[in-house]
Amino acid sequence: MPTVVVATGNPGKLQEMNAYLAPLGWDLVLKPEDIDVEETGTTFLENARLKAATVAKATGQWAIADDSGLAVDALDGAPGLYSARYGATDGDRIQRLLTALGDTDERSAQFICAIALARPDGTIALETEGICPGEITQAPRGQGGFGYDPIFYVPAAAKTFAEMTPAEKEQCSHRGIAFAQLLPALRPLNMAD
């Protein structure tokens, strides 16, 4: 069973990746705390590549990374790469976004998730990007999820992410889409390279 380093220090993200990648039987481990990756990319995919390559080279093992965020059309793609730093708490981030949008009718948005897998030498073996189109609600709805989930409405499901069950969200979320695209390419990958 191959060991793959997840380029994050967040145990929650490790658990989430374990769920998506369970069919592969990989042993996923958190990156060592002393490896710090500065996210200097200008796109989600650049940041995912950077994190995966840096951690792979530093550990000498396969590494997988994701980078994701919310892009709101009326805000020229903001908060985008800065989604996690758009406020101190989830509540702050939601309030700042709703205030920025005001009462505009243009509320289209998309959640984006980029994933990159790097070989032990840091070269990128595979990458993908999942996009979930939606709209920003006028006010939070639902009790589930985290982050912007209470204000991200998915028309195809007629619910916000926060109103969905975890299984429903996994089926249509940007991260679920990205992993669904990546899994078929991961299965035949020779991890002995």
* Residue among 64, 117, 70, 114 at smallest CA distance from 96: 70
Query: Cis before residue 120, ω within 30 degrees of 0?
Result: no
The domains located in the chain, with CATH, are: 3-186 (3.90.950.10)
R_g of the chain, CA atoms, integer Å: 17
For the record, the structure tokens of 192 come out as 């002995």
Distance from C-alpha of 176 to C-alpha of 173, rounded to nearest angstrom:
5
Count of CB atoms within 10 A of residue 91's CB?
11
Distance from C-alpha of 176 to C-alpha of 132, rounded to nearest angstrom:
9
CB crowding 40-79: b at 16 or more within 10 Å, else e:
ebeebbbbbbbbbbbbbbbbebbbbbbbbbbbbebbeebb
Asked about 73 being catalytic, the answer comes back as no
- In this prediction, residue 115 has a pLDDT band, given cuts at 50, 70 and 90, of very high
User: Per mean pLDDT, which range of 75-79, 100-104, 116-120, 185-189 is the poorest?
Assistant: 185-189
What confidence tens digit (pLDDT) does each residue in 130-168 have?
Answer: 999 999 999 999 998 889 999 999 999 999 999 999 889
Q: Is the pLDDT of residue 193 over 70?
A: no
Q: What interhelical angle do 174-186 and 11-21 show, nearest 10?
A: 50
What confidence tens digit (pLDDT) does each residue in 28-44 have?
Answer: 999 999 999 989 999 99
CA-CA-CA-CA torsion sign (102, 79, 73, 156): negative
Q: Report the residue count for the chain.
A: 193
Tell me how many degrees the CA angle 22-17-80 measures, rounded to the nearest 5.
150
- Position 177 scores a pLDDT of 95
User: Given 34, 36, 66, 67, which residue is catalytic?
Assistant: 67
Distance from C-alpha of 131 to C-alpha of 155, rounded to nearest angstrom:
14
Give the rounded percent of residues in the chain with a pLDDT score beyond 90: 81
